[in-house]
C-alpha cells in the first residue's frame, strides 16, 4: 500500500511520528512536506497530497494541520477527492465504509499520537460498502 502524507508546520509534530510508524509497519510513503517548523501554508501540502491521490499515484493520503480543517478544505478542492477530518475512530471507519473517503485529515492540536494511530488504523482497515452509498457519491 502506498500512502501520501503532508502537513504544514503545525501538523508536523504529528506527521513525523506517524511517518516513522508507517515505515515500521512496512507502508510505502511519499512525504510531500513540510519538514521544517518554520511557518508555511497548509493549502500547499493539502493540494500536493490530493493531486497524488487523484492521479492514482498513491492508494490514499493522510494530511495534518492544527485542526485538520484548513488542510482538508484545500485537499477537497481537487476533483475526485473526498477528505474527512476525524478526531475519533468511529467516524473515520464510517467515512470510508459509507463515503469512500480517500484522504484522512488530522489535527495535531486536537488528537494525540496514540489516538491518531487508532483513527488511522480504523480508517485504513475499513472497506467501502458500495451499494446505496455509491449512488450518493455519484451525485457529486
Q: Which residue has the cell 457519491?
A: 137
| Residue 9 designated active-site | no
Alpha-carbon distance 67 to 64, whole Å?
8
Catalytic position from the list 9, 86, 98, 133 = 98
Catalytic: which of 9, 65, 86, 133? 65
Strand order in the sheet with 103-107: 28-31, 2-7, 60-65, 103-107, 83-85
CA distances from 24 to 18, 34, 43, 100, 110 (A): 10, 21, 28, 26, 24
Looking at the chain, the number of H-run helices and the number of E-run strands are 6, 5
Q: Is 86 a catalytic residue?
A: no
Catalytic residues: 65, 98
Amino acid at each position: 500500500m502506498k500512502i501520501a502524507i503532508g502537513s504544514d508546520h503545525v501538523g508536523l509534530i504529528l506527521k513525523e511520528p506517524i511517518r516513522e510508524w508507517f515505515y515500521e509497519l512496512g507502508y510505502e510513503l511519499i512525504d510531500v512536506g513540510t519538514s521544517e517548523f518554520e511557518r508555511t501554508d497548509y493549502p500547499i501540502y493539502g493540494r500536493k497530497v490530493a493531486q497524488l491521490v487523484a492521479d492514482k499515484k498513491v492508494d490514499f493520503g493522510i494530511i495534518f494541520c492544527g485542526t485538520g480543517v484548513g488542510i482538508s478544505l484545500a485537499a477537497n478542492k481537487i476533483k475526485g477527492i473526498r477528505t474527512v477530518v476525524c478526531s475519533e475512530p468511529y467516524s473515520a471507519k464510517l467515512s470510508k465504509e459509507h463515503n469512500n473517503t480517500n484522504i484522512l485529515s488530522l489535527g495535531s492540536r486536537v488528537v494525540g499520537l496514540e489516538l491518531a494511530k487508532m483513527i488511522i488504523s480504523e480508517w485504513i482497515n475499513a472497506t467501502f460498502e458500495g451499494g446505496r452509498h455509491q449512488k450518493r457519491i455519484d451525485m457529486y
